[in-house]
Amino acid sequence: MEYRHLGRTGLLVSPLCLGTMNFGPQTTEEDSYAIMDEALELGINFFDTANVYGWKTGEGVTEQIVGRWWAQGGGRREKVVIATKLNGNMSTENWPNFSKLSALNIIRACEASLKRLQTDYIDLYQFHHVDRATPWEEIWQAMETLVQQGKILYAGSSNFAGWHIVKANEAAKNRHYMGLVSEQSLYNLTERTIELEVLPVCEDYGLGMIPWSPLAGGMLGGALQKAKEGRRASENQQKMIDKHRGQLEQYEAFCAEISEQPADVALAWLLHNKIVTAPIIGPRTLEQLTGSLRALEIKFDEEQLKRLDDIWPGPGGAAPEAYAW
C-alpha cells in the first residue's frame, strides 16, 4: 500500500478510505467487524464515519460499532486514522443547539463522539455541511480548544463550496490556526461540478479531496451488466440508469475493452487526479472491499482519459475559463 499525505499535512493515509455508513443499517455488527479487520489486513488505515450514521437520531449507531470494534484491542485504534463528522441533529426531541456548528454543539458533539468511539481523540473532525449562521471566529475558537485539549488533531469540511473553504481558511489564518486540511465532496465521473471551483481551491490551500459516492450510488459499478444478470436496482438508481443509459452503454463497453471492472475504472479515474487523497468506498461485504483494491493498479493513457471525458463530460475545467474565456 502506497500511503498519501492528507492534503498539506504530514499525516499518511491509504488511497482508499473505508466508509462505514452501511454499518448498522445494512451490514451487521459482526460483518462490520470482519470488514474493518480485513481493511487493516489490506493496509487500509483511513476510516470515515459521522455522528448521524446509523440513522437513529441521537444514537450514533455506526460510531458505537466502530468503538466496540476498537475495544477488542490488538492495536486497532492505533492503526486507524478516523474521520468523523458533526452538523446533523442529534436530539430525539428536536431541541435547539444539538446540531449545526455553534461552539456549544461542537464541544458537545465531540465529547459524545469520543464516548461512542471509545477513544481519547479524533484524527480528522469534519464539518458535515456549512452553517451560514455561525461565524468562523466562533467555530475556530471551539476547534482550537479541542486541539489544545488533545481531543482532535485536524479539521476538515464536507459539502463546502469553494468560497466557503476560502472564508474558513482565511479566518483560520488570521488566528494563526491551521484551518481546514481536507474537503469531502460528491465527486465521480457523472458528477463533476466541483472541478469548477472546489478542486482548484483545494489545490491552492493544500486540502486533500475525499470524494464521496465515487460510484454514483452504484451506477458506475456495472449497473447494466448487473441488470442483465437479474439484479434489481433501487427505484432511484433505476431512474438514474434510465437517464444515463446511453452513456452507461459506452462506459461499460469501454471498461470491457480495457478488461477492467466498471467500479475499478471509476475509482481509478478519481485516483489519477493529484488533488484526490482517497475516494470513500462503502462496502457492504468483504468481497466488495477486496475487489476495490484493483483500482490502485489501473493507469490510464491520455487517449483513455479522453474517452472517459467524451463519455462523461466535465464542466470544461476550472472557473472562469470553463464558461468564459
Q: Which pLDDT belongs to residue 5?
A: 98
* Residue 232 pLDDT class (50, 70, 90 cuts): confident
Question: What are the backbone angles phi and psi of residue 261, rounded to the nearest 5°?
Answer: -75, 140
Over the stretch 61-97, which tens digit does the pLDDT of each residue have? 999 999 999 999 999 999 999 999 999 999 999 999 9
Angle between helix 103-117 and helix 61-70 axes, rounded to 10 deg? 50
Query: Cell match 492534503: residue?
Result: 7
Cβ atoms of residues 283 and 272 within 8 Å: no
Q: How far apart are CA 295 and CA 288, in angstroms?
A: 12
Over the stretch 89-129, which tens digit does the pLDDT of each residue have? 999 999 999 999 999 999 999 999 999 999 999 999 999 99
Q: Which domains does the chain have, with CATH numbers?
A: 4-221+263-303 (3.20.20.100)
- Mean pLDDT, to the nearest integer, of 245-252? 97
Q: Is 152 helix (H, G, I), strand (E, B) or coil?
A: strand
Q: Which pLDDT belongs to residue 41?
A: 97
Beta bridge partners of 46: 81
Q: Which pLDDT belongs to residue 20?
A: 98
Lowest mean pLDDT among 145-149, 201-205, 223-227: 223-227
Q: Cβ atoms within 10 A of the Cβ of 43, count? A: 15
Q: Does pTM top 0.85 for this prediction? A: yes
Q: How far apart are CA 92 and CA 117, in angstroms?
A: 20
**Does the pLDDT of residue 223 top 90, yes or no?**
yes
- 216-39-17 Cα angle (round to 5): 40
Question: Identity (one letter) of the amino acid at 195?
Answer: E
- Mean pLDDT, to the nearest integer, of 311-320? 97
Cβ atoms of residues 214 and 280 within 8 Å: yes
C-alpha 61, offset from chain centre: 18
Catalytic residues: 53
Q: How far apart are CA 110 and CA 259, in angstroms?
A: 45
**Does the pLDDT of residue 281 top 90, yes or no?**
yes
Q: Which pLDDT belongs to residue 230?
A: 78
Q: Is 188 helix (H, G, I), strand (E, B) or coil?
A: strand
Q: Which pLDDT belongs to residue 226?
A: 87
Q: How far apart are CA 205 and CA 217, in angstroms?
A: 29
Give the HSE-up count for residue 259: Cα atoms under 13 Å, Cβ half-sphere.
1
Q: Which pLDDT belongs to residue 228?
A: 85
* Residue 237 pLDDT class (50, 70, 90 cuts): confident
Q: How far apart are CA 40 and CA 154, in angstroms?
A: 22
- Mean pLDDT, to the nearest integer, of 145-174? 98
Q: Which pLDDT belongs to residue 234?
A: 80
Question: Identity (one letter) of the amino acid at 283?
Answer: P
State the chain's mean pLDDT as an integer.
97
Q: Which pLDDT belongs to residue 260?
A: 97
**Alpha-helix runs per DSSP H in the chain:** 29-42, 61-70, 76-79, 103-117, 136-148, 162-174, 198-205, 223-228, 235-243, 245-257, 262-271, 286-291, 302-311
Q: How far apart are CA 113 and CA 51, in angstroms?
A: 6
- Mean pLDDT, to the nearest integer, of 250-275? 98
* Residue 167 pLDDT class (50, 70, 90 cuts): very high
Residue 99 DSSP symbol: S
Q: How far apart are CA 258 and CA 28, in angstroms?
A: 36
Over the stretch 5-63, which tens digit does the pLDDT of each residue have? 999 999 999 999 999 999 999 999 999 999 999 999 999 999 999 999 999 999 999 99
For a pLDDT cut of 90, what percent of the chain falls above it? 94
